[in-house]
Every structure is written in structure tokens, then in C-alpha cells.
Structure 1
Amino acid sequence: MDGLKEVSAGGVVFRRKNGRTEILLIEDRYSRWTLPKGKREKGETNEETALREIREETGVSGRILRPLTSVHYRYFHPDHGDVEKEVHYYLVEATSEALHPALSEIGGARWLPPEEAWRLMQGEGYDNNLPVMEEAYRHLGLLAGES
């Protein structure tokens, strides 16, 4: 089956703690650092998907401040063949802080200073997430790699 399209949504989640901004990253099943995201379910908006997936993967609730860049890529699925993937990202302010990662889905989740989150994304993340992080950092008044 060629031409399958999959839509997902997620976000750059942040919180302000003790006057500093922290960024939430997850470690995925492949031991790479990334942003929380997941597949849109029938009847959901992209915004609803982003907030649900963030909550399900990390236990953190949030509110969307603004849309960010959408990412498009293609991957091979053993059962479905080539899949066109579209991921809508949002800037999300955490409204809860306690992490309760869904360890059945991800390897873990951490609140990080912006410079450490950027370093991990550059070295152990996915290149297509870097423009999303850059845009989020601009909106938060951060420079990529600085707090």
C-alpha cells in the first residue's frame, strides 16, 4: 500500500522555574532525544492531539501558546511501505510539572536548561527538530544553545 499519510502533533514544552526556563525533552525508543508527539486520532484537532500526546507520554499537562513549524518527512513502514509523515508542533507552556513518563512508549523524560536541551537535540536528536526548537527559542526570547 503506497502513499499512506500519517498526521501527528506535539510540542516544545517549557516551564519557568526559579526565574529560569526549562525545556521538556523525551528519550525515544531508539535512545534519541526528541520532542513529545504522536498520531492524531479520528475526530481530534492537531492542537488536541499535541496536548493529549504530551500528557500521555510525559504526564505533563499544558496550554498551547502558538503554532510552530510543521515537519514533513517520509519513512518506510514494514507493513505499509512508504509513509508520508506530517507533524504539527506547538509552543506549549506546562500547567503541571511532575513527570510521569509512559515507559511503555518512551525511554524517559527530563526538564532541562535550554542550553542542555539544545546540545542534546544537536548531538543525540533528529535534525528535523532543530528548526522547531529554534523557532520556539525565538518566541521564548532564548538563543539556541543559551538560557
Structure 2
Amino acid sequence: MYKVFVKDIPIILSTEKNIGKQYTAIPLKLARFKKLIKKINNGELIYVNLYHKNPEKLERFLRKKLPLVEAAGGMVFNDKKEILFIRRNSKWDLPKGKVEKGETYEEAAIRETMEETGVRDLEIKRFITKTYHVFKRNGKFKLKATYWFEMHTDFTGELVPEPEEGIKKARWKNFEKSQKALRDSYENIKLLFPKEYLTTHPNDRVSQV
């Protein structure tokens, strides 16, 4: 199953026709992807499932329908088990950026994380997942595929957000503060976190983080 986010609303691509009563199920061969994106942007569509029995055709479909931009980023832990967040476009996010020509995904993830936050001495521990979202540039829709890696650092120096990329803050956040940040983040970022980060006590109130 793939989730392609459009304004934080996922277009589901799956091998199952029926994934829930609220979903509009459309065979992959009949899907008009750009029209679906416009309907979501206009608030006309919320739940949609594009299905095909062959899972390999799902990603091929995505790559054919929109120009693809590949990016890479990191979920960075320090020795205190805090996670490195950035503040951009009034949302908490994780550092990421476009893969340059000749770079591996791992190299791009490390470079972008360093550039956007000032962190150093990064070590990749594992590949987490790949996320997809649709964005608009110069009046045209594009698909961004981001490769995410779990990293570790023992860096204790000052974090320096990159203003040229619109980054206002770079912060280490413990478990509790990470939970709060995720309430003010993007749905594709939430996919990277274990469910305990997304579950808060019912008496908790949303507060400024």
C-alpha cells in the first residue's frame, strides 16, 4: 500500500478494492490522477483508493503520472534519545532535501540534515521508509518521493537553522515534546514514528511547543 499526500489528505494505492466503506474505490486503469488531485485541493474528495492486484504497478503508475522529484532526509537521535526537528512554514518537520546528481540517498540525507540544522557527526542506522506527497511548482503538480533514514549523533554543539530554506528553528525534542510537535506536523512525517509518539493522554491539551 502507498499513501500519496495531497494537502495532508492521502490518496491510497493498494492491492485491495475494499479498504473501508468511506473510500471511493477506483481501478488503477481508470484513475485520472491529476483530476483527483484537483478534487482534493478543492475539498470535493477526501477518501479515495486506487487499486490493482499487482503491487509493482502501483508505484509505476505514480512515476508515470507526475514529474518525480527525489529527496532524502533523517530522523536524528542524540545520546539523550532526543529527536531533531525543524520549524518551517509554521509546521514542525524533519530535515530533508533534494537528492543531487551523483549522490546516493544516504549521502543526500546526511548532507541535507547538516545543511538545514548545523548538526554534525551523523551516522546512519537504518532505512525507515519512503513517503510520497504532491506539491505545486510553477503552476504544475509534481510528485516528491522522500527516502528517510534513522540517524544518530553525539553532537552537542549549537544548532543553526538554514534561513535560505525558510527554516526558523532547529530543536532537539524529548519524547513528550516530540508528541506535541507531531500534533503540529505533516501526516507523511507522522508515518515515520512509532504509534506511542502519536498517542497522547486524553487529558493532555494542545499547547505551544
Q: Same fold (TM over 0.5)?
A: yes
Corresponding residue of 1:103: 163
Code of the residue aligned with 1:118 in structure 2: it is: Q
Corresponding residue of 2:5: none
The structure with more strand, counted as a fraction of residues: 1
CA contact (8 A) 1:63 1:95 kept: no
> Paired residue for 2:135, among 64, 67, 75?
75
Go from structure 1 to structure 2 and tell me whether the alpha carbon gap of 1:42 and 1:31 turns closer, same or farther (over 3 Å shift).
same
Q: Give per-residue Cα distances to partners, 1:48-80, cap 9 Å, x unaligned.
A: 00000000000112110000011012122125x
Corresponding residue of 1:64: 124
Identity across aligned pairs (percent)?
Answer: 35
| Unaligned ranges ≥5, structure 2 | 1-64, 200-209
Code of the residue aligned with 1:54 in structure 2: it is: T
Provide the secondary structure at the position in 1 that maps to 2:194: helix
Provide the secondary structure at the position in 1 that maps to 2:97: strand
CA distance in 1, matches of 2:118, 2:107: 15
Tell which structure's C-alpha radius of gyration is larger: 2
Q: How many residues align?
A: 132
CA distance in 2, matches of 1:144, 1:26: 17
> Paired residue for 1:94, among 130, 134, 153?
153
> Paired residue for 1:117, among 163, 178, 192?
178
Code of the residue aligned with 2:153 in structure 1: it is: A
Q: Give per-residue Cα distances to partners, 1:63-117, cap 9 Å, x unaligned.
A: 10000011012122125x1101100000010242321221222111001112211
RMSD of aligned alpha carbons: 1.8
CA contact (8 A) 2:72 2:106 kept: yes
CA distance in 2, matches of 1:48, 1:95: 19
CA contact (8 A) 2:135 2:143 kept: yes
Alignment of 1:45-60 (within 5 A): 45-60=104-119
After the TM superposition, which segments of 4 or more aligned residues of structure 1 sit over 3 Å from their partners? none
| Unaligned ranges ≥5, structure 1 | 136-142
- Give the TM-score taking structure 2 as reference length: 0.59
Aligned: 1:37 with 2:100: no
